[in-house]
Structure 1
Amino acid sequence: MFLMNLQRYIQSHQTDLTVISASLIVIGFLSRYGFGNLAGYNVTLAVASIIAVVPIAIHAYQALRVRVISIDLLVTIAVIGAFIIGEYNESAIVTFLFLFGAYLEQRTLNKTRESIKTLTEMAPTTALVIAEDGTTTTTDVDDVEIGDHVLVKTGANVPVDGQIIDGTGYFNEAVITGESKVVSKRPGDSVFAGAMLSNGTVTLTATQVGEDTTFGKIIELVEDAQDTKSKAESFIDRFAQYYTPAVLIIAVLVYLFTHNFETAITVLVLGCPGALVIGAPVSNVAGIGNGAKRGILVKGGAVMDDFAKVDTFVFDKTGTLTTGQTAVTQVKAYTANPKLALALTARGEQHSDHPLGHAVLTYAKAQSLAYQSLPVTSDRTIKGQGLELTIDDYQVLIGNERLLTTHEVGLTPPQQSDLQAIQATGSSVILVAVNGQLSLILGIADAVRPEVKGQLQALRDRGTRHLVMLTGDNQVTANNVAQQVGIDTVHAELLPEQKVDYIKQMQKAGHRVAFVGDGINDSPAIATANIGIAMGSGTDVAIETSDVVLMQSSFQSLVHAYALAKKTVLNTQENIVIAVGVVLFLLIGLIAGFIYMASGMFVHEASILVVIFNAMRLIRFGSTPNVKKAPQKTTDLT
């Protein structure tokens, strides 16, 4: 028990031991070169060596207990050998540099995991549960059940996933989506555990609790991802298992042939593949941490590797390339006062429950039109045609071409041409006639995300070769959207299983395919692709099925994730090249006679610092390039 407690104490104070070792080394060199005290020099460096080698030896012993010959064992043996030949300065510098390298590695890993620490600290521990009599009880969050009514007040974190049933408020969902701006929520809207209620008071019904909440799954996902090894890491681990014993054998052979104990010890020290073992995991953890802080969840180093090799992006249309909400996308006006015509249309649509009417009202609001006070003296709904209204003494028709034909309102050839052009885009059409004359043609469609065109070009700039759309929508609409955003290939009117077939065909043709969808109805395609990417606010299916989750549902995040994967893999390759290059240089130097233990260990440990600092660059890796948003095809009515 005493030994176990001593091991824990030493390991928990490893940083302190590193500082003490460095201080003793400085004192030792001052003793020799400042005061000419050789005895003080040897004593302080010997003590520094002993202090620093203790945690290294403990790690070596723990590894041996599970039958692993680790790098720590090589260093421990090298220090013992240095003591035997009286090279206390060598042993002190070797152990200090080794501990300092371990300190920097741990510091880098901790820095990249700060986002996870922040998430766990923000997780609420209690909830205000409302009883049937209306009273509230402070309940441990683990005891909240699905269906419970929970009260959330201003400044509090939401304790469970739920749906608002009463009240409104502004929520900061940065821990979920990575987006810091507040979002307005009202009854019927979903909220996520971990989000903070910035203003307002709401009551919600719990839909997911505990570890099953989106928040809990995100924490688990990122933690697992940082422990998942890439192919490069797995290879290096296997390599180290054979390399470390090989170095021991080579050192023994060197001593047997040369009878030079110091040279054999030098082989042990310089043969430690420290930078090689550290380089790959530090790069992957830094890259995954970078993504997590931006609401990009990547499921491990292996996903990073595969994502970097993607050459074909396949997109769903609705909710991915488009907003998933209908909007007025085209306006043709044939009147001297188009704003009046639109105001009359909006006032009329207030008397309709047609889905297209909401799009008209939203558009009119964006145009800052005051239409609510216009008096409606008569209104009649004509099934299958539209509305016939009298508004402020204007005779108004709002509907389809049949409605206008029934009321003997004709279209001129140019107007007929405009109508056909809008219909050719796959848009729904509303015709508006005022006092017997066609005044407006409104094209309404699922609006294309304004940033998509520029961001798809950014994907091409980063190495994407093919952009494909697979959608269940009709061919005309799909072609129009593809033309707007720059998609190369379109396949429309597909069932989910047909999307899977197309992905398999692309894979058989040698393409590395990433499928981007909303993570709900596209689960089979997401699971089939080499990389499945879910653009959605953390739905259960999105998190469980996909390889990458973009919590912000933005194409900027998609471009950043793709660039980050490529940069992370490149960074890993750079670290491997540095590590292998240094080992070769040291071996050549040792054979040629211009590398000795002190200089060799300095170069060796410096290479460890180089790969760590190189990996740390990923933590600050890039903001998405500024891409101009493509304007929507709407006509201003001024």
Structure 2
Amino acid sequence: MSTDDAGVVVRSVATGRVRLTVPWVRARPGSAGLVDERLTGMRGFRALRIFPRTGSVVIWMAPDLLDVDRLVTALDQAPPPSAPLKPTRSTPDSSTGELARLVVGGAVLAFMALRRLLGRPRITAGSSGLLGAITLFTGLPFFRGALRSLRGRSHPGTDTLVTAATVISLVLRENVVALTVLWLLNIGEFLQTLTLRRTRRAIEELLTIGEERVWLVREEGADGVGRIETEVALEEVAPGDLVAVYEHHRIPVDGRVVTGEALVDQAAITGEALPVYARAGAEVYAGTIVTSGSLTVRATSVGADTTVGRIISRVEEAQSDRAPIQTIATRFTQRFVPVSFALAALTYVVTRDARRAMTMLLIACPCAAGLATPTAISAAIGNGARRGTLIKGGTHLEGVGRVTAVVFDKTGTLTFGRPLVTSVVTLSDRYTANEVLRLAASGELHARHPLAQAIVAHTEEQHLRAPLHQACEVVLGMGMRAELDGTRLLVGSPALLRQHGVELTHEAQGWTEQLRTSGETVICIAHDDELIGLLGVSDAVRSGAGTVIQQLTALGVTRLALLTGDAPETAQAVADALGIAEVHAHALPEGKLQLIRDLQAEGHTVAMVGDGTNDAPALALADVGIAMGAHSSHVALETADIALPGDDLRQVPAVVELSRHTLRLVRQNYGLAIGVNLLGLVAGAGGSINPVLAALLHNTSSIAVVANSARLVNHTPHLPQTTDDLLMAAPLEDRRLR
């Protein structure tokens, strides 16, 4: 059964009020307006509240006319599905050929391992021929690459080395060794292809902005009287059109507010931790969310021309512009492959012995060289996965070890990404810090603003009980006004207090300035027309963030920068707390891209650490993109080369150390692969070694490489010792003015 077809569920019934879950509202948020259409005109209907994200619908009726069955019947039938906005493109996660090579190769290797485990006799000549054919099928992409290099279309590289080693192994009937190498390499290619396709799909999904249908204001009389709202497909909206946006919906266009007022969560675009207050004349962006209130917006940009559309374009451009990191395997093969073939050719010219030349080529191009990188990389990726670090390919693992500059997004990366109470200031001898906090929480009990939720949560953490108010009212953009035991309680901005005749004293203004300088948002509390205290709320720095900065510096990272869409004062306060010298505030996606380009132009290998949609272009352009945090946006996680699904910032220096340790092991592996066979080169040139002994050396070096790589599985990062830092959110403090 689809989500649309599921029935309406009654959650609660009270006097004159019923809460329902309507599945088709959750499945198609753009159709939520139909609920109002079906209930308007129903006898006894008074008010309605819809939460499209959860499908929850709260209905107020006249108590004597409340008929739950009638309401369920009215909302039970889902509306007919709308026509698709555009043809759906189904992109498979991987091609049939890639999957077939992985499945067939893996199945054959498992079968061979099982035969050996059970002590079965060696395979027959016919089976050996079949195994050779499977090996050739598994190595098809590498053989094509080698053919291109022979035609002069590319430089000899890994494909040429692998092809040469495979052919020689097949001639010597070392089919299992050849198949193992090819299968491991195919896994790496498959993971890289899978990542690219998932990224493209994430970008396509982002383009929908989360709203497929919008409310278009077709007509509007004087002072907004007689306006008609029509639900249309997003593609029908053009610049200049008026669009109505309601609570809990995404704004579908870039534009300017014409009427209404609302709190808008712009974190995905600007990186600001707190919702901004939008009213007539304010500029708003597609993809941002109206958390409270409603707006009528005149569209200035739609579709690909919106800010979020430009972000998508920047991601795609950055992915195509990024210079590839040259891997150890690439450098090795570019230098070693020509030498290998030259040695074999020279041996044949001098001895006229094709068998001896083949022996030389086998020794000079050992399969152990093909195993040197993939075995170490696979072990390192598995090591990272055990610690919650997803590394999307060997190239990215190698790249992060060479990083010399790290750029951090602030909100949600270095900070928690949500407000916390960090300061309590009392301004009256009659009230303690606990009492100020209790009264502030009383006024904010029923508010949904993140600042209000932070105050209530902090009160609960301090095991304080907020007194219940008798009435309250939201003053949008300013705060809350409540009635408590016959007295007036104001919790909000200085403007709210001034509006009610409560002025800030000289001392209060001094504290306000001090809190703002330290990057805190100031909330004033007035009780019975007396200013009794201030709260400082900020997006607190993560525990351990300072240690991470020190460790990266100790690891040789010479450039550290902080990027944010927040105000300079807030950004500087965080940078000062962490010891980051370079700060870029009010940074939009284009500005973040430019900083990455500038650092790369200076010769740095750059890592970008971020979590939001607005970070995606920079994550794509950086030499290594790292998506940080449990709440990273989908497109950030898919665009990044390394994903840290948890909130442990310490994994950033840990993955740098893991990469460097892996690179050391890869170099050791190449040393083993060549060193074990170096004796064979001398012996082979003199004719004192035959292909059988060459094959023995071949297998010995392969086993040595695999054993050396296996040490990475249980490797623990050895990070520089630094002084521990504490959570930057201060404990409750009574800072009474004297």
User: Shorter-chain TM-score category?
Assistant: 0.5 to 0.7
Residue number among 459, 469, 481 corresponding to 1:364 in the alignment: 459
Which residue matches 1:131?
Answer: none
Contact (CA 8 Å) 1:397, 1:404: kept in 2 or not? yes
Over 3 Å counting, the alpha-carbon distance change for 1:460 and 1:607 in structure 2 is same
Give the unaligned 5+ runs of structure 2.
1-104, 148-159, 193-210, 213-247, 249-323
Give the unaligned 5+ runs of structure 1.
1-6, 25-46, 80-94, 117-145, 148-164, 166-227
Over 3 Å counting, the alpha-carbon distance change for 1:432 and 1:251 in structure 2 is same
In 2, Cα distance between the equivalents of 1:288 and 1:449?
26
Over 3 Å counting, the alpha-carbon distance change for 1:507 and 1:423 in structure 2 is same
Over 3 Å counting, the alpha-carbon distance change for 1:292 and 1:230 in structure 2 is farther
Contact (CA 8 Å) 1:556, 1:624: kept in 2 or not? no
Contact (CA 8 Å) 1:17, 1:51: kept in 2 or not? no
Equivalence map 1:418-567=2 (5 Å): 418-434=511-527, 438-535=531-628, 539-567=633-661
Which residue matches 2:418?
Answer: 325
Query: In the TM superposition, what whole-angstrom CA distance separates every residue of 1:611-631 from its partner, at most 9, and x where no partner exists?
Result: 112222333343696995622
In 2, Cα distance between the equivalents of 1:365 and 1:113?
51
Residue number among 587, 590, 598 corresponding to 2:681 in the alignment: 587
TM-score when scaled to structure 2? 0.54
Equivalence map 1:296-315=2 (5 Å): 296-315=389-408
In 1, Cα distance between the equivalents of 2:170 and 2:480?
88
TM-score when scaled to structure 1? 0.61
Contact (CA 8 Å) 2:561, 2:582: kept in 1 or not? yes
Opposite residue 356 of structure 1, the aligned amino acid is L
Opposite residue 15 of structure 1, the aligned amino acid is A
Q: Percent identity?
A: 28
Which residue matches 2:113?
Answer: 15
The size of the alignment, in residue pairs, is 477
In 1, Cα distance between the equivalents of 2:665 and 2:580?
31
In 1, Cα distance between the equivalents of 2:701 and 2:441?
69
Does 1:634 find its partner at 2:730?
yes
In 2, Cα distance between the equivalents of 1:349 and 1:539?
29
Please say which of residues 348-357 and 374-383 is displaced more in the overlay.
374-383
In 2, Cα distance between the equivalents of 1:389 and 1:277?
72
In 1, Cα distance between the equivalents of 2:679 and 2:485?
89
Over 3 Å counting, the alpha-carbon distance change for 1:469 and 1:592 in structure 2 is same
Contact (CA 8 Å) 1:314, 1:468: kept in 2 or not? yes
Contact (CA 8 Å) 1:112, 1:619: kept in 2 or not? no
SS in 1 for 2:425: strand
1:239 Cα deviation after fit: 6.3
Over 3 Å counting, the alpha-carbon distance change for 1:389 and 1:231 in structure 2 is closer
In 2, Cα distance between the equivalents of 1:386 and 1:265?
82
1:359 Cα deviation after fit: 1.8
Contact (CA 8 Å) 2:493, 2:523: kept in 1 or not? yes
Contact (CA 8 Å) 1:307, 1:531: kept in 2 or not? yes
Query: In the TM superposition, what whole-angstrom CA distance separates every residue of 1:544-575 from its partner, at most 9, and x where no partner exists?
Result: 53333333354234333333333333332222
1:237 Cα deviation after fit: 5.5
Opposite residue 501 of structure 1, the aligned amino acid is Q
Over 3 Å counting, the alpha-carbon distance change for 1:75 and 1:106 in structure 2 is closer
Which residue matches 1:137?
Answer: none
Over 3 Å counting, the alpha-carbon distance change for 1:590 and 1:434 in structure 2 is same
SS in 2 for 1:315: strand
In 2, Cα distance between the equivalents of 1:60 and 1:304?
28
Contact (CA 8 Å) 1:331, 1:441: kept in 2 or not? yes
Opposite residue 232 of structure 1, the aligned amino acid is I
Contact (CA 8 Å) 1:533, 1:547: kept in 2 or not? yes
Contact (CA 8 Å) 1:578, 1:611: kept in 2 or not? yes
In 1, Cα distance between the equivalents of 2:113 and 2:191?
23
Which residue matches 1:280?
Answer: 373
1:471 Cα deviation after fit: 1.9
Over 3 Å counting, the alpha-carbon distance change for 1:354 and 1:248 in structure 2 is closer
SS in 2 for 1:522: helix
In 2, Cα distance between the equivalents of 1:528 and 1:402?
43
Query: In the TM superposition, what whole-angstrom CA distance separates every residue of 1:92-126 from its partner, at most 9, and x where no partner exists?
Result: xxx7xx5775687689889999999xxxxxxxxxx
Superposition CA RMSD, Å: 4.8
Over 3 Å counting, the alpha-carbon distance change for 1:107 and 1:300 in structure 2 is closer
In 2, Cα distance between the equivalents of 1:506 and 1:622?
31
Over 3 Å counting, the alpha-carbon distance change for 1:230 and 1:622 in structure 2 is farther
Contact (CA 8 Å) 1:341, 1:434: kept in 2 or not? no
SS in 2 for 1:613: helix
Which residue matches 1:344?
Answer: 439
Over 3 Å counting, the alpha-carbon distance change for 1:500 and 1:309 in structure 2 is same
In 1, Cα distance between the equivalents of 2:376 and 2:667?
9
Opposite residue 579 of structure 2, the aligned amino acid is G
Opposite residue 366 of structure 1, the aligned amino acid is E
Contact (CA 8 Å) 1:108, 1:616: kept in 2 or not? no
Over 3 Å counting, the alpha-carbon distance change for 1:407 and 1:60 in structure 2 is closer
Contact (CA 8 Å) 2:609, 2:625: kept in 1 or not? yes
Over 3 Å counting, the alpha-carbon distance change for 1:347 and 1:581 in structure 2 is same
SS in 2 for 1:313: strand
1:526 Cα deviation after fit: 2.5
Contact (CA 8 Å) 1:275, 1:579: kept in 2 or not? yes
Opposite residue 630 of structure 1, the aligned amino acid is L
Opposite residue 286 of structure 1, the aligned amino acid is A
Over 3 Å counting, the alpha-carbon distance change for 1:52 and 1:424 in structure 2 is same
SS in 2 for 1:347: helix
Contact (CA 8 Å) 2:422, 2:536: kept in 1 or not? yes
1:366 Cα deviation after fit: 1.5
In 2, Cα distance between the equivalents of 1:438 and 1:588?
91
Over 3 Å counting, the alpha-carbon distance change for 1:609 and 1:562 in structure 2 is same
Contact (CA 8 Å) 2:588, 2:614: kept in 1 or not? no
1:300 Cα deviation after fit: 2.8
Contact (CA 8 Å) 1:17, 1:52: kept in 2 or not? no
Over 3 Å counting, the alpha-carbon distance change for 1:320 and 1:441 in structure 2 is same
Contact (CA 8 Å) 2:502, 2:530: kept in 1 or not? no
SS in 2 for 1:332: strand
In 1, Cα distance between the equivalents of 2:708 and 2:191?
20
SS in 2 for 1:70: helix
Query: In the TM superposition, what whole-angstrom CA distance separates every residue of 1:179-207 from its partner, at most 9, and x where no partner exists?
Result: xxxxxxxxxxxxxxxxxxxxxxxxxxxxx
Contact (CA 8 Å) 1:53, 1:76: kept in 2 or not? no
Opposite residue 348 of structure 2, the aligned amino acid is V
In 2, Cα distance between the equivalents of 1:395 and 1:381?
14
